[in-house]
Each structure stands twice: as C-alpha cells, then as structure tokens.
C-alpha cells in the first residue's frame, strides 16, 4: 500500500499518513520507491486495529 491507499483506508489525508509514518509506532515500509514508500497491507491493518483507527 502507498500513502494514498492508506489515507483512503483510514479516512485521513495523505499528509496525515505522512505524519503518522514519521512516528515510532508506525510500521516500517517494505520498500521505498521513487513514487514513495510502500507498506504491507497486513502491517497497516494490524497497526490500525491496535491504535483504534480501524
């Protein structure tokens, strides 16, 4: 998942995803592409459940 997909999943802005991604508890991306970082969907969903965002 990229920033846009995470934003849609969490119902937040892309800017908010970038802020969240800078926190220590947010999952590490599996890769950093020219288009931006990407994450495993399962990692994001797990984090979102643990933090009450899903």
Q: Give the Cα separation of 15 and 31 in Å (integer).
A: 19
pTM assigned to the model:
0.93
Q: What pLDDT score was predicted for residue 5?
A: 98
Q: What pLDDT score was predicted for residue 6?
A: 98
Q: What pLDDT score was predicted for residue 7?
A: 98
Render pLDDT for 19-50 as a digit per residue (tens, 0 to 9).
Answer: 999 999 999 999 999 999 999 999 999 999 99
What phi and psi, each to the nearest 5 degrees, are found at residue 22? -80, -5
Q: What pLDDT score was predicted for residue 35?
A: 94
Q: What pLDDT score was predicted for residue 40?
A: 98
């Amino acid at each position: 998942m990229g920033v846009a997909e995470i934003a849609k999943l969490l119902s937040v802005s892309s800017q908010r995803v970038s802020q969240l991604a800078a926190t220590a508890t947010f999952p590490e991306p599996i890769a950093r592409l020219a288009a931006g970082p990407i994450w495993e969907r399962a990692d994001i969903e797990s984090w979102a459940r643990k933090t009450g965002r899903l």
